[in-house]
Structure formats: structure tokens, C-alpha cells
Chains A and B, each alone.
Chain A
């Protein structure tokens, strides 16, 4: 733990290193909690914690550090809301976690079509990414949307790099199948 900085100096440093990442923080939050009001709540709580623990932060790149706090805050918020019995923000069919448990054997169609995946539209991509189980969704979002390196993802999600890779692989495989299947359905009108 670092020695506490004088208040004014701490604010200046926080403003320079942490405040500029509120956009990134909000974006991650909304993809994790899937609800605008809760994402705002999560970001505000995360900033509160970040400011509290800022004395202990070393270095210049605060983005992974902040995102790690945002991620934790989001999961705490989700768990708290579940306990309070507040309605889940997921649609039933959108949840994913019940339908595909991590590591479960899922029967994949043999050959998803590259062309079918390429023809996926905006709405389909939101739906399929939103339906990924949380542990796969977060690595996909961190990688594709936030452009984090494996090392950064490992620090943010607190998992080893090998797990980052296997979750990304799994997440992309689920997306491959989901995108292919939906495009097919749309084409055949079923």
C-alpha cells in the first residue's frame, strides 16, 4: 500500500489517469449488466472504489485496473439484485447460462458456412453476443470491443492467460454456431 497522496495531488492524478476511461468503463458495464440504469450505477460505484483505492495504484495505465474494478462491481451488483429478488434484466431465452454451462458438451453442426457468418447483421450480432454466458461474453467484449491484449484481459478478469485463450475460443465457437444457425433460419424463414 502506498502512502496517501495529498488530496489535491491525488485528484489531479485521478483526473488525468482514471477519469478519461469513463466511456470504456460504461461500455463494459452495459455489456455485463445489460441494463442502462444498472450500468450507470455500476460505473459510479466503481469510480467510488477506484478513488478509495487510488493511493495503491502505481503506473500510468489505469485502464485495466479500472476495468477490473468495474467488472467486480458489475458482478456484485448482479448478485445483489438476484438476492433481492429483483427481476433479472435478461430475457428468459437470452440468458444463456442455463442453456450452455461452461464445459458442457454441445452438439455443433458440422460445417458452419463462412458466407453465412459474414452475412450476419447488426441486430443478430447484438443478440448472439448478449446471449453468451457471462464468462465468455466478457472476454469477447474485452477483446473485440475494448481491444484489450490477452495480458490485460487476464488482469481484468483475474484469470490466467491460458483461460483467457480457452474462453475466447469457446466464446467464438458459440458465436460461430449461433450466427450460422440464425442466418440459416432467416433464409429458410423458420
Chain B
């Protein structure tokens, strides 16, 4: 893949919308091209800045109540939907990461619904710094909904951050305790050795709960092709 093609694919790569083959080709090009690497780093920085800081506007309670009263099932709809909201909120909050930013009951509900439909063996790919909080929360919700699922988390690229000793989420909570909780529920955490070398991390900086694998991408494709895992980017 040359620079021109890479530039064209870079956003799809950033958004995990590429087929694995294209993603690997982009990765290979980035390894050898400082210019495209800078371009990629900048785009990643823009994405991280926007995701970290952009304001989630919660719908006013009065608006929710009006909509529920008008369009809810007539038999005490407001009470029923309030009960459901608080149920979802409580499950999410109790499961993990109390300090996670609450982005409105609508999307939390979406996520748990999506999670409930997941297949039995799942490899979760975390490749972005800052996406771990939401990913871990989704995972906890998912395990709540279907406890029998086998889950492997593969951290790769900037996504390795949360598995480093002392790493904290945006609200100052240690990731390590969230990881330990999930691990106690059977979730396996694997971290990409190539990334550690590239980002000049020492393996001693990685929390003990995570297992080192030589290549995150190879691990993901092995789990998918040889062990029948479904791929999921949370």
C-alpha cells in the first residue's frame, strides 16, 4: 500500500471499519512511513480530544417525562419506563466503573441491548487510548446479560494504555481494579508485544492480570479463524 492509498484508508482504519486485510496493509505502511505515521497520530489525537472532551447533552427530565406520557403504553407507562431506566443504570453502575461518564440512558440502553445479542465466544479488540472505559463497561453489561460468554480482550496500539501499572481512567479510577473484576469473571486480557516494543514500554510496566502475546493482530486473526471467535470492537 502506498501513501496515497493509506491516506484514503486512514479514517476507516481509525474507525475500525476496514477489513482485516486492509487494516494490516495500513499498519504495515505506517511502520515504514514517518509522514503517514504523523498524519495518523494527528488524526488519532483529534479523535481522542473530541471523544474525551465533547459534551454529552442529557435530555431534560421534563422532556423524557413528556415523551413517556405521550407515547408510552397507557397503563402507567411513565412508572414502567422509569423503573426500567433505573434498572439499567443500576446494573451498569454496580457491575463496574462507577465513575464512568453517564451519557444518557438512551445510549446505555442501546449498549446493553447490543451486548445481549453477542455470540458465545468473543474477541474484543481495544486499539485506542481512551476507549477502554466504555469497552470495559460494555463488557460488564454484556456479562451481566449473558454470563456464559467466553471473552478475550486483545489490547493493541494505543489501546494498550489501560493495561499499564497505575493507569487511570478520565475520572481518576485505576483501570487495574476494573480489569481484576472482569478477570475474576473469566475475561482474559492479552496485550500486543509488538506494540510494547514500538511504544518503548517495558513488559514490567504491564499489570500482572494481562498476558503478553507476540502480536495482537495475529492473535485476533488466530482466535477468529482457528477458534471461531467473533470479532468485536467496543
A interface list, Cβ under 8 A from B = 8, 11-12, 14-15, 18-27, 30-31, 36, 39-40, 43-44, 47, 51, 63, 111-112, 114, 117-118, 120-122, 124-126, 129, 140-141, 143-147, 149-150, 165, 168-169, 172, 175-176, 179
Smallest CB separation, B6 vs chain A (Å) = 13
- Count of chain A to chain B residue pairs whose CB atoms are closer than 8 Å in the complex: 144
Hey, which chain A residues are within 8 Å of B103, CB to CB?
23, 27
Q: Does B60 contact A (CB under 8 A)?
A: yes
Smallest CB separation, B60 vs chain A (Å) = 7
Are B107's CB and A122's CB within 8 A?
Answer: no
Hey, which chain A residues are within 8 Å of B49, CB to CB?
117-118, 120, 125, 179
Q: Which of B46, B63, B66 makes the CB contact (< 8 A) with A175?
A: B46
Write 16 A-B pairs (CB below 8 A) sorted by A numbering. Answer: A11-B77, A20-B106, A21-B110, A23-B103, A26-B59, A27-B59, A27-B104, A44-B67, A114-B38, A114-B45, A118-B45, A126-B53, A144-B54, A168-B11, A175-B46, A176-B45
Hey, which chain B residues are within 8 Å of A179, CB to CB?
46, 49
Hey, which chain A residues are within 8 Å of B58, CB to CB?
23, 26-27
B interface list, Cβ under 8 A from A = 11-12, 15, 17, 38, 41-43, 45-60, 63-64, 66-68, 70-74, 77, 80-81, 84, 103-107, 109-110
Give the complex CA separation of A40 and B72 in angstroms.
18
5 smallest beta-carbon distances between A and B, as pairs: A23-B104, A23-B106, A26-B59, A125-B53, A117-B45
Are B71's CB and A24's CB within 8 A?
Answer: no
Smallest CB separation, B230 vs chain A (Å) = 16
Most buried by B among A26, A43, A169: A26
Q: Which residue of A lies closest to B129 (CB)?
A: A118
Are A27's CB and B56's CB within 8 A?
Answer: yes
Q: Which of B11, B54, B57 makes the CB contact (< 8 A) with A125?
A: B54
Evaluate whether A22 and B72 lie within 8 angstroms (CB atoms) in the complex, with A144-B50, A172-B47 already known: no
Are A125's CB and B67's CB within 8 A?
Answer: no
Smallest CB separation, B156 vs chain A (Å) = 19
Hey, which chain B residues are within 8 Å of A51, CB to CB?
71
Are B67's CB and A165's CB within 8 A?
Answer: no
Supplied contacts A40-B60, A118-B48, 12 more A-B pairs, CB within 8 Å: A15-B68, A23-B59, A24-B106, A25-B59, A26-B58, A26-B63, A27-B59, A27-B106, A36-B57, A141-B54, A144-B51, A175-B46
Q: Which of B15, B17, B50, B63 makes the CB contact (< 8 A) with A43?
A: B63
Evaluate whether A149 and B17 lie within 8 angstroms (CB atoms) in the complex, with A19-B68, A114-B38 already known: yes
Smallest CB separation, B170 vs chain A (Å) = 11
Are A114's CB and B42's CB within 8 A?
Answer: yes
Hey, which chain B residues are within 8 Å of A31, CB to CB?
57
Smallest CB separation, B131 vs chain A (Å) = 10
Hey, which chain A residues are within 8 Å of B63, CB to CB?
22, 26, 40, 43-44
Smallest CB separation, B74 vs chain A (Å) = 7
Are B12's CB and A125's CB within 8 A?
Answer: no
